[in-house]
Amino acid sequence: MRGPHNIWRLIRTGATLERTGAMGVVLDAFEAPPQLRIVVRTLVWPFRWLGIKGDTSAPPLPRALTALGPAYIKFGQVLSTRPDVVGSDLATQLRVLQDKLPPFDLATAKTAVETELGMPVDDMFSEFSEPVAAASIAQVHKARLAETGEEVAVKVLRPGIEKAFRKDVDAYYFAADMIELLSPASRRLRPREVIEHFDGVVTGELDLRLEAASASEFSANTVGDAGFQLPTVNWMYSGKRVMTLGWAEGVSLGDNEALDAAGHDRHALGSRVLELFLSHALRDGFFHADMHQGNLKVAANGDIIAYDFGIMGQIDEYTRRVYAEILFGFIQRDYRRVAEVHFEAGYVPADRNVDEFARALRAVGEPIFGMDATRISMGRLLSYLFEVTERFGMETRTELILLQRTMVVVEGVSRSLDPEVNIWNVAHPVVEDYIKQSLGPKALAKDLMKTARVLGRFGPRLPGLVEDLLTRQSDTQDEDIRKGCPMMFLGGAVGVACGIGAVLVFNAMT
């Protein structure tokens, strides 16, 4: 599936961008230099006639991305949250990709629901509306449960969506392999691993049972968060291709005029979106990774309502601590500490100079402070960060891709509500509180308790493990065993002692 035939798909991508007029829009948005414009247009123009025409009534870039399919639409959704990168006009145009795509017909949706849940739609729902929102992977219908009268949202996957995504992802794999082959310098960015990560995310998003489980876990984590709501999953009427949630009533977070008319404070909302994301990522290690305006509403009481849990991010506790220290270092303008954390975590090769890296980080961070947030060009900032990572041989951290991507999206959402929101000012108290909780004496005691639990659980097995190790080695390395036996038995004795000690410590703690 990932052979050279994917060249056709990639050629058609460029041809579609050219035919719809989107190629020029993209090059302008990213301020591409004249040389790059000439090369790109020269390579693509002869194939222009192969491009998909698309909906001629739509603006060029939304028209091209919609014509190319769901994976490209996902990319457009990210850009729609970055007016500071692509410009406010283009960001507004792209916002239709969030939940205003062409829907499939009602009859097809009802058939899909009946096939998945094994019951007639009329037996389950007393009302079942036309689509109220349509995105790249699924569309949503407003319905009413026949049994209880509760209003619900029924999400139904698009017909054939799995095959469509598979085709795009296969082309991406091929492109990643070609990039690594033709540009060895690009391998530090691990393009294939990036695509594998994207593939895993998409695969999970195409199984609505996993989305329902994510929604349930997210709800349990955030039940005490002030100013935040989540719809409840109805498991009885959910399956692989259909998911039913409680109906979320509110104003779209992307409709500033409606928010103003309802009397909501957009500055407070913009700050809260950032605070909630950082709290979920740092405190829980489990966060909504698709927080664009199409997945957020504001309730009448001012609470932010999140929905669409197809893409969730997860990071382990150690990575959360590293990420928090990096953020806090930037906030404190302690670039030396930020550099040290990068080296300690292995993000930068050990043979590089920590002082030089600290100076490079200072050049990235200093322009942010003392400057009006509206004057900060995130595009230029990201461009310089890329140069820094290339200079110091940093590899792409695939476990942080979703976190970094969501950070960009959330900041874009926040800026769309209030252009003067400064991410660093909002982040300061959230990150500082996490640092106190995760790196202080309380955190140390918690870590020791976890270690004691592990040792207490495995301590009784240590003698057997040592004996097995010695038996295996004696079969092949008699001489080494004779020399190493005393130390090995000593290690086994220490292990047993540690295990017993751990059990005593754990019992004392509990």
The C-alpha atoms of residue 510 and residue 495 are separated, in whole angstroms, by: 22
Cα-based distances in Å from 128 to 28, 144, 152, 294: 44, 7, 10, 21
Residue linked to tokens 């920590």: 354
Angle between helices 478-509 and 441-458 (to 10 degrees): 120
**C-alpha angle 185/202/321, rounded to 5°?**
65
- What does the block give as tokens for 65? 């991305």
Contact present, 140 and 133 (Cβ < 8 Å): yes
Q: In what order do the strands lie in the sheet with 125-134?
A: 125-134, 138-145, 151-157, 242-246, 233-234
Contact present, 287 and 312 (Cβ < 8 Å): yes
Angle between helices 60-68 and 22-29 (to 10 degrees): 110
The C-alpha atoms of residue 289 and residue 276 are separated, in whole angstroms, by: 12
Read off the DSSP letter of residue 308.
-
The C-alpha atoms of residue 445 and residue 508 are separated, in whole angstroms, by: 13
Residues labelled catalytic: 290
- Beta-carbon contacts of residue 293 (< 8 Å; ≥ 6 apart): 80, 81, 95, 98, 252, 253, 254, 413, 416
Where does residue 372 rank: exposed (0-12), middle (13-18), buried (19+ CB within 10 A)?
exposed
- Please report the sign of the dihedral spanned by the C-alpha atoms of residue 28, residue 31, residue 37, residue 43: negative
Helix residue ranges per DSSP H, 333-461: 335-344, 354-365, 378-391, 401-417, 423-439, 441-458
Cα-based distances in Å from 426 to 268, 278, 409, 432: 10, 10, 16, 11
Contact present, 106 and 132 (Cβ < 8 Å): no
The C-alpha atoms of residue 188 and residue 194 are separated, in whole angstroms, by: 11
If we measure between CA atoms, which residue out of 135, 124, 132 comes closest to residue 310?
Answer: 135
Determine the 3-state secondary structure of 246 from DSSP. Answer: strand
- What does the block give as tokens for 257? 């005029």
Give me the long-range contacts of 191-200 (CB less than 8 A, separation at least 24).
193/396, 193/398, 194/396, 194/398, 194/401, 195/169, 196/398, 197/398, 197/401, 197/402, 198/169, 198/172, 199/169, 199/173
Task: Give the distance, in angstroms, between the CA of residue 487 and the centroid of all CA atoms in the same chain.
Answer: 47
